[in-house]
Structure formats: structure tokens, C-alpha cells
Chain A
Amino acid sequence: MTAAAKKRAVISSGRAERPRESFSPKKHWGKNLLVELGFLGIILLCFLTVKILPFLLSFGYAFTDWNGISSQISFTGVDNYVQMLADKDFWNSLWFTLRFCGCSILLTNVLGFFLAFCLNKPLRMRGILRAGFYIPNVLGGLVLGFIWQFIFTKVFPAIGKATGIGFFNLMWLGTPATSFWGLVMVDVWCSLGYYMLLYLAGLSAIPSDCLEAAHIDGAGGWQTLTKVTLPLLMPTITRCLFLSITSSFRVYTLNMSLTNGGPYLSSEAITMNIYRTAFTENQMGYGSAKSLVFMLIVVAITGIQVALTSRKEVSM
């Protein structure tokens, strides 16, 4: 068929009737190597050079006893992994990280969704509120931790003295419990805005017809939320969960600048443990082995998460 004839066919048959499988970009340009290179080439090259290659090297180090400095590197097989089994600090920090991630991810996503839900309604101050809740995300790096350390150790006691509220008079960052919750608080405070934006984008993509239809059918607010909104929001939820899991597990700079693992290593997350092993204790090989195990754990968790939530995705 000529192009012109195809065009006539398109106009005359009407979109809704043509089966979807008759066209796909894959069939059209899928096998074209030049196109593939053009779209993927540069970024793939950068990605391989900057992430994969170093990772492969690190994978290699994970089976040695390298200290990070010496030119003598000896292959030690699975010694590092045997050592890891007995390493109390490693498992403690892994457990700490799991707890931290659990709380942080839950709070960030639930609060982020809640804010997005509220700010999706026609409120007057909506624009300012949306921008305002995002602003904390501006802070990052070492500064975020230092500012909040400042606040926990100087401002909170001052407020506590002035108002007498017990919450402010706790020994913030001085006990394992306050260090844990302090870390969670700051992480949620900082990331909330970003996930709010992602949920907002997802919510606004839900056509109002669906919601109207639900209302006409007599569904109340809660029912609409759980039976209509959330299922339609699943792709966004998948995305947000995936992003928050991967970023929470890798927490390091915040951990270091806020608590530095203290008191007595009780708030040391896994990346900090890996860094301490690899650098401070001059055991690059063992540290690389730890990060390999860590990576496998995260991949497993996110794999399960994506599989579970993808299944619940409802298309329109």
C-alpha cells in the first residue's frame, strides 16, 4: 500500500477500530542499528564508563584483601564473605538501615500522597503551598545534616526551655532512639516535597470523568480513594516506591553529618559501615565485598517491590 493509500485508510476506518498490534515503533525502527545508536549511544557509553566499569573493578576487589593503597593485591576468594558473617557491626547497620528505610519510605510516601491529594483540590493558596512544601528539597549534602544537627542540639532545647513541651527536651541525637528518629525526621522533611510533586503529577493524570462516574454511582470519599484513585495511581506509586527505596538505602551524607553513626555506632547505616571499612579501616577489599552483598539485597527488594506493584497496575 502506498503512503497516500494508508492515509486514506486511516481516515476512513477511524482510530478505534484498528487493532493496536498493527503498528509499533519497534516494528518500524526496532532493528535499525543506526537509530539505536543515535538514541542510546552517548548516554550508554557514559553510563558504562562511569558506573559499570568501576563497579566491575569493585567486584574484582571484593575477592581480594586490598587495603586501598598498596600495589600488592592478593586474591582471597570467599574469605571476605566468611568474615562478613561474623561481623556484628555490619549486620547491626544492615538492620538499622532496614528499619530506617521502612519508616522513612512509609512516611515519605504516605505524607507525600496526602499532601498531593490535598493540594490537588482547588484551594486558593495552592500554588504557594506546592512550592513551599518542595523547598526543603533544596538542601542537600553535608549542609542538610549540619543545619539539622544545629537545630536538634541547640534550637530544640531552647524551644523546650521556653515552652516546656517534653518533645523538645529529649536528648536529641544523644540516644539510639532519638538518633534514629532524628534521621528519619530529617530524611522525610527533605524528600517529602519531591514525592508530593510526583504524586501530584500522577493524580492530575486521572481524568475527572472517572471520579465523576464514581460519585454518581454513590461512592463516598474513602471508597473513591481506595477503589478508583489508588488503583489508577499504581504506576506512580510503583515509581515513587522504587525511587524512595533506592535512595533511602544509599543514605550516607545525611547519616554522616547528622549523627556520624553515634552514639556508639548505633545509628550507622550500611553505606557508612561500608565507607568506614573501606577507607577509615583501610580494608578496600572487604569493603567492596560488603557493598556487593548490599547491592544484591537492594536489587532483590526493589525487584520484589516492582513485581508486586506492577501487578496491581490498572490501565485505562
Chain B
Amino acid sequence: MIAVHRHPATLSGQRHGRILLEIGLCVLLLIGLLPFFILLLNSFKDMMGIAKNILGWPNPFKLSNYARAFEKLSYPRSFFNTLLVTLLGNAGLIIFGSMAGYRLNRAPTVFNKIVYLLLLASMAIPFEAVMIPLMKVSSAVGLTKSLGGLGICYWGMGASTCIFLTHGAVKGIPYDLEEAAIIDGCGPFKTFWRVIFPLLRTTVVTYTILNTFWFWNDYLMPQLMLGGDKQIYTIQLSMRSLFLEYYAMWDVALAALVISLLPTVIFFLIAQKYILSGLTAGAIKG
């Protein structure tokens, strides 16, 4: 790195500027996270407290909301179900999505180009528009009424974004590394997994995080695909039982919401380290 001579005044001015920026950002962050504070605060109140005293401290402080939320959500089972779908969905997209993105970039045959365009164009289709035909097709193929089927459905639905991002990331990787691997005698798959995939870490983690939040929060597709069997309900489906036609049990619902968000937040805090370490290394492309 070339040492640049800077005037001392500029340096301290820069430092002041930086500190101000930092403070400004922190304030912005606190404002931005306000809804979460309110959510957390109100999850300990009773119905009257939520209706009359939103910003105030809970009085009485009801921990029982969480106990009831656990029960209403059928927690261990619905958590397990949601986790299963999320793991399966992510595994498929990480493995097959990145492979496809790589292949479509490296082998731009006419067929592949068409496939890529089709994948991109399909991102314009809203789920609600194809909901009913999807049910027809997926029940004919046997994907309905099971968590595994739902996971495989997510592979198809999430393919476009993953392939698009991977394609972009792979575009920036020079051929040299694959070349070297081929010379070393690697086959196509080994080349991909050994040489390219580690470089895609940032992209993969980025879309895995996004997909996880999508699977965790999705309601309509699981409702349709899983049918009525409560045993395989995800957290979101179980949560609907708190929202009745004329009455929403907000006290329990807010606690249930906090419970359902906690795993995803923890997951994100762990996963984002991979992105950050990738970023600071600098040499890894996007």
C-alpha cells in the first residue's frame, strides 16, 4: 500500500467527521429498530395494556404470554417442521442453484442462454397468479401434504434468484483457476466444488440468509401445500390460530412473534460473520 502523506489537520478533521458519522448512524439504527423494541415491550403486556398504553412499561408484566405462545404454536413440533423445510430448501438451492448458475455462465450454449432468460423472466411472475395451477401440478406430482414436498417446491421457486446471483458472481471469476484445476486432472464437478464454490461463499451466504427468512415467514404456500394436518404445520401456520375472525389475541401473538423470530435472528448473526470476513478479505468477488 502506498503511503499517502496527509496534512495533520485533514486527518483530525477526518476523524471528527468519522465520529459524527458513526453517531449519526447509531441514532438512525436505533430509530430503525424502534418497531422491534415496541414489539418486545408489548409482548409482555395484557390485552388492555396493549390497547390503552402502547408506549408504556408493561404493568402487569406478563411472562405467561410466552408460555401460552409456546403452547399455541405447538412449539417443539412446529419449530422442527419449519427447520426441516428451511434446511431442505436451503440445501437444495445452495447445491443445485450454485451449480446451475456456474454452468449457465461457463457454458453459454444457445440452450443455456434460453434457460437463463427463462429463469430471469419467471421472476416477474407473482406467486398468487399461479397459485391454483401450482396446486394442480404439485398434487399430480405428489409434492403436496408433506414437508419434503414443500422443500422441493422451494427449490423450483427460489431457483431464479440464486442462479441469477451466482451467475453474476461467477462472471467475475477469471478462467485461470479452472484451467489450473483441469490441468491438475480435475473433472467438471470437482473443479466446481474445489475451486469455484469456495469463492462463491459470500453470494451463497447472502442468498441463503434471504431464503431462510422467506421460508420461515411464508404463509400462503405452506397453507395450500401442507393441507390440514396439524402435525406438519410450520410456525407461521400455527400462529394463524391466534388471529381469529373477530378477535386477535395480540398479547399472545406478539410473544409468539418474538419466539418465531428469535431463531432467524440468531441464525443471521452467526451467518453474517461469513459475509463480513469475506468482505474484508477484499480479493473475493461478490
Contact = CB atoms under 8 A, between A and B. Distances in A.
- A–B contact (CB under 8 angstroms): yes
Interface residues of A, number: 107
A207 B185 CA distance: 32
Interface stretch (B31-39, B61-69, B70-78, B79-87): B31-39
Contacts of B90: none
B228 interface: no
Contact of B103 (A20, A40, A212): A40
A275 B129 CA distance: 7
Interface string A229-273: 000000110110011001001101100000000000000000100
A118 B21 contact: yes
Nearest to A238: B168
Interface string A27-59: 011101001101110111011111111110110
A69 to B, nearest CB: 10
A7 B183 contact: yes
A147 interface: yes
A58 B122 CA distance: 13
Contact of A246 (B54, B123, B136, B279): B123
Interface string A257-301: 000000000000001001100100000100110010011001100
A96 to B, nearest CB: 15
A67 to B, nearest CB: 11
Count class of interface residues, chain B: 35 or more
A54 B130 contact: yes
Given A239-B165, A302-B124, A155 B107 contact: no
B275 interface: yes
A288 B217 CA distance: 26
B108 A15 contact: no
A227 interface: no
B60 interface: no
A273 B156 CA distance: 25
Contact of B178 (A25, A40, A207): A25
Contacts of A162: 55
A139 B125 CA distance: 23
Contact of B265 (A10, A20, A135, A215): A135
Contacts of A291: 125-126, 129-130
Given A51-B125, A299-B121, A302-B124, A26 B109 contact: yes
A254 B272 CA distance: 26
A133 B29 contact: yes
Contact of B132 (A28, A68, A134, A302): A68
A181 interface: no
A304 interface: no
Contact of B282 (A24, A35, A47, A208): A208
Contacts of A61: 133
A46 B107 contact: no
Contact of A39 (B103, B155, B268, B272): B103
Contact of B175 (A10, A25, A138, A159): A25
Given A208-B282, A212-B1, 4 more contacts: A29-B188, A123-B18, A197-B275, A271-B126
Interface of A: 3, 6-7, 10, 15, 20, 23-26, 28-30, 32, 35-36, 38-40, 42-44, 46-55, 57-58, 61, 68, 115, 118-119, 121, 123-125, 127, 129-143, 147-148, 150-151, 154-155, 158-159, 162, 189, 192, 194, 197-198, 200-202, 204-205, 207-208, 212, 215-216, 235-236, 238-239, 242-243, 246, 249-250, 252-253, 271, 274-275, 278, 284, 287-288, 291, 294-295, 298-299, 302
25 contacts: A3-B185, A7-B183, A25-B107, A39-B189, A40-B99, A44-B115, A46-B152, A54-B133, A57-B136, A58-B133, A61-B133, A121-B21, A125-B25, A127-B276, A129-B22, A132-B32, A136-B36, A158-B55, A197-B275, A201-B278, A204-B280, A212-B2, A252-B127, A274-B129, A299-B121
